[in-house]
């Protein structure tokens, strides 16, 4: 494995440790890495100085919101939902994946982690890239911290159907508790905001479907096979897992007390910022998903006021009334 791939894996694991609130630092993280073996059977270790350089890169290059906590003597993420979007080095993806799964036992539910590791070992032994094709690298988005429990057997069945390109028939319980059966082509498995999803097409059509894996009650595969849709993968990479309609012209007034983190996360917001004499901010957002903006505004408990558009201001007002009524 080349040095860039090793560095990438160290960074991914460091972020995973921070997301679990394990407060990694250069010393304890270097010790933790020495517990793992590389593809050559040697310990996957490095010096604390190397880890310190990785931490500096994460903050300065990748803009990770890492902050040192003196009381816990380690780093944490100011924004726990921050996602580390990193490039994939295709020339080394098999060896990366081999070590990556060994470092990701805290990410993939059992018994999947062992099965994946076994499949990789078999792939390497037969010198075949069938298991780790480009579609897998592009569509399996690993991250740590699962917010909803998943039946390990269901997760494994979904994963196997995806990698074998098999059509599945699944029983699904929607958020309202309604149960129905669906015949489905699983083209993408993705981890989004703490939830595992599977995305693809209703069988025999181009109707996009996205299912939260924790809501799948049961499934069986082998009904038919399909070819991975490259356009669906590319569109998902560009537009995100869900194709929500975006609202333009959102202008907000933000209290001075939250100005610091808005500046810190400017790369994420991509917004136009105007500072006012009282240090409050007027920000104009790029086209944004409305319900995500509403959640953000409500979470700030009155520190954000909607200036435009009037329709969004009315929705915030109604949501506030509902909250007040429910808690009176």
Using CB atoms within 10 Å of the CB of residue 51, give its burial: 0 to 12 exposed, 13 to 18 middle, 19+ buried: buried
Residue for token digits 């816990």? 72
Instruction: With cut-offs at 50, 70 and 90, classify the pLDDT of residue 92.
Output: very low
**Percent above pLDDT 70 for the chain:** 73
* Alpha-carbon dihedral sign for residues 119, 124, 127, 132: positive
d(CA 117, CA 102): 7
pLDDT at 209: 94
pLDDT at 218 over 60: yes
The CA–CA distances, whole Å, from 71 to 5, 74, 75, 90 equal: 32, 8, 10, 41
pLDDT at 10 over 90: no
pTM over 0.85: no
Q: Within 13 A of 7's CA, how many CA atoms are on the CB side?
A: 15
Give the SS3 label for residue 243. coil
pLDDT at 125: 43
The average pLDDT across 263-268 equals: 70
d(CA 186, CA 160): 10
Instruction: With cut-offs at 50, 70 and 90, classify the pLDDT of residue 15.
Output: confident
Q: Which domains does the chain have, with CATH numbers?
A: 3-82 (1.10.10), 134-239 (2.30.30), 246-326 (3.30.70)
Instruction: With cut-offs at 50, 70 and 90, classify the pLDDT of residue 87.
Output: very low
Q: Which residues contact 246 (CB under 8 A, 6 or more apart)?
A: 287, 288, 289, 290
End-to-end CA distance of the chain: 60
Model pLDDT for residues 33-70, shown as the tens digit of each residue: 887 655 455 556 789 999 999 999 999 988 889 999 99
């Amino acid at each position: 494995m080349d040095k860039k791939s090793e560095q990438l894996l160290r960074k991914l694991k460091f972020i995973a440790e921070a997301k679990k609130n394990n407060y990694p630092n250069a010393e304890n993280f270097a010790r933790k890495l020495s517990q793992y073996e590389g593809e050559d059977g040697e310990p996957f270790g490095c010096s604390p100085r190397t880890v310190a350089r990785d931490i500096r890169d994460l903050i300065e290059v990748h803009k990770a919101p890492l902050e040192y906590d003196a009381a816990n003597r380690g780093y944490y993420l100011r924004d726990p939902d921050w996602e580390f979007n990193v490039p994939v080095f295709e020339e080394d993806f098999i060896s990366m994946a081999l070590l990556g799964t060994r470092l990701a036992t805290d990410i993939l539910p059992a018994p999947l982690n062992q099965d994946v590791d076994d499949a990789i070992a078999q792939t390497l032994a037969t010198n075949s890239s069938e298991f780790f094709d480009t579609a897998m690298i592009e569509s399996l988005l690993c991250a740590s911290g699962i917010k909803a429990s998943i039946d390990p057997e269901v997760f494994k069945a979904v994963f196997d159907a995806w990698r074998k390109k098999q059509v599945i028939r699944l029983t699904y319980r929607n958020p309202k508790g309604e149960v129905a059966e669906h015949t489905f082509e699983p083209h993408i498995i993705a981890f989004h905001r703490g939830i595992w999803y599977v995305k693809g097409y209703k069988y025999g059509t181009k109707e996009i479907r996205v299912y939260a894996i924790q809501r799948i009650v049961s499934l069986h595969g082998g009904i038919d096979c399909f070819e991975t849709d490259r356009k669906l993968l590319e569109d998902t990479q560009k537009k995100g897992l869900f194709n929500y309609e975006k609202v333009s012209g959102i202008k907000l007034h933000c209290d001075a007390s939250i100005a610091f983190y808005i500046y810190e996360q400017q790369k994420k917001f991509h917004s136009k910022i105007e500072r006012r004499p009282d240090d409050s901010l007027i920000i104009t957002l790029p086209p944004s998903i409305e319900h995500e903006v509403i959640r953000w505004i409500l979470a700030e408990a009155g520190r954000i006021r909607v200036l435009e558009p009037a329709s969004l201001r009315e929705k915030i007002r109604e949501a506030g009334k509902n909250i007040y009524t429910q808690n009176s």
